[in-house]
């Protein structure tokens, strides 16, 4: 009986240690980000474009608040991230696919400046030890890809 209790206790402690070591998606996204490049993915290849947000800094706070700062202009709002299953059209082979993906929503605005931004990214990928972020928006034949770097 004591052996079973010891095994159960060890399993609980080990599970607690492992779960405390892994960060949630929101924790890994929290921080300050620069938009490095935006591009459109077409059937003929990838073409860079200017989104209008390359010159500022995105602040994603732990509490879900978001800011975009460009010079003296500041847009404020919120951000959310999570997992979802979405059907997308594959431009590569022309078929519909259902995929489990991680999403990111950034919603910031400044009414005095008459400026707002609501970005809904269908899929996101952290890489380079969490210092780089690739976000994708899927639209029939007009996918967009945004590359961010953490400061």
Band the pLDDT of 24: cuts 50, 70, 90.
Answer: confident
Transcribe 32-99 into DSSP letters.
Answer: EEEEEEEEEEETTEEEEE--S-TTSEEEE-TTSEEEEEETTEEEEEEEEEEEEEEEEEETTTTEEEEE
Domain for residue 11, yes or no? no
Cα–Cα distance, 71 to 99 (Å, whole number) = 39
| CATH number, domain with residue 109 | 2.40.128
Domain for residue 96, yes or no? yes
Q: Specify whether the CB–CB gap between 109 and 77 falls below 8 A.
A: yes
Domain for residue 127, yes or no? yes
Domain for residue 55, yes or no? yes
Domain for residue 5, yes or no? no
pLDDT tens, position by position, 54-94 = 999 999 999 999 999 999 999 999 999 999 887 766 666 77
Band the pLDDT of 132: cuts 50, 70, 90.
Answer: very high
> What residues make up the domain containing 30?
24-150
Can you give the pTM of this predicted structure? 0.78
Cα–Cα distance, 75 to 113 (Å, whole number) = 9
Structural domain count, the chain: 1
Mean pLDDT (whole number) for 123-130: 94
Q: By three-state DSSP, how is residue 6 classified?
A: helix
Going by C-alpha positions, the residue among 123, 52, 128 that lies closest to residue 81 is: 123
């Amino acid at each position: 009986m004591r052996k079973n209790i010891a095994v159960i206790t060890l399993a609980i402690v080990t599970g607690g240690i492992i779960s405390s070591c892994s960060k949630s998606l929101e924790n890994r996204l929290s921080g300050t980000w620069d938009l490095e490049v935006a591009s459109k993915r077409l059937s003929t290849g990838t073409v860079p474009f200017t989104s209008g947000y390359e010159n500022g800094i995105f602040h994603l706070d732990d509490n879900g608040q978001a800011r975009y700062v460009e010079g003296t202009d500041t847009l404020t709002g919120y951000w959310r991230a999570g997992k979802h299953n979405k059907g997308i059209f594959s431009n590569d082979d022309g078929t519909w696919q259902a995929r489990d993906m991680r999403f990111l929503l950034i919603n910031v605005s400044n009414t005095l400046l008459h400026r707002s931004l609501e970005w809904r990214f269908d899929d996101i990928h952290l890489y380079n030890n969490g210092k780089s972020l690739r976000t994708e928006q899927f639209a029939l034949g007009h996918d967009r890809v945004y590359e961010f770097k953490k400061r």
